[in-house]
Amino acid sequence: MGEVVVVRHGQTEWSRSGQHTGRTDLPLLPAGEDDARRLRPVLADRHVDHAFVSPLVRARRTAELAGLFDDGVQTVLEPDLVEVDYGGYEGLTTPEIRARVHGRWSLWADGTVPGETPGETLAQVAERVDLVLGRVRPLLADGDVALVAHGHVLRILTARWLGLAPEAGALFPLATGRYGVLGTEHDRPALTGWNTR
C-alpha cells in the first residue's frame, strides 16, 4: 500500500513576506526553485506513480522541478488543490488582518471575508480535499501519490486524511518547499512524516 506525499510549493515573494496568497498566481523565487529541485531525489526514491498538482504556477513549477512531469509519473492538474480563497484577506499578512479586525484573528477560528473574491470557509475547502482524497485512495494500491499544492489547503487535507475536522489543520504547519507523508499504521490513517526538507 502506497502513501500520500504532500508537497508545499517553493518560496514566493508573498510566502517570504507572510502575505496570504490564495488565488493570486505568483511565480517561485530563485530560492523557491532551489527548494523544488531539492525535492527531486526524495520523490524519485519514493517511486511516485501518480501526482495531482494545483494549477497555480507556483505549484506547477515546483512539480516540474521536482520531476513529477517526467516520464513514468501520471501527473494531472487538480483544481480542487488550489489554495484557500482568502477573499478580502488576499495579499495581507496576519498582523495587517488583525489590525483591520481590531484584535486576534486566525484563519482556523475566524475564517475569511468577501473581497474581490467571495472567500471560502474551511468546510468548503474540506469538501474539495475530500474529493481529492476520494480520487487518491484507489491509486495507493499501485504505489505512492504526490500532491503538490499550498500550505493551508494541504493542512486541511491532512486533517481530513486523519479523520479530523478541517480546523485541526492548525496543528500541521508546513513550510514552503517541505513535504509530509500520509500513510497508515495498523490499517488506520496516520501521519508518518511531516514538514521534512
Alpha-carbon span 194 to 77, nearest angstrom: 23
Q: Which residues face 189 on adjacent strands?
A: 184
9 among known catalytic residues = yes
Instruction: Name the catalytic one among 3, 9, 78, 120.
Output: 9
83 among known catalytic residues = yes
- 94-113 as b/e: b if 16+ CB within 10 A: eeebeeeeeeebebbeebbe
Burial degree of 127 (CB within 10 A; 0-12, 13-18, 19+)? middle
Cell readout for 173 is 504547519
Instruction: Name the catalytic one among 83, 90, 120, 152.
Output: 83
First to last CA, the chain: 23
Report the catalytic residues. Answer: 9, 83
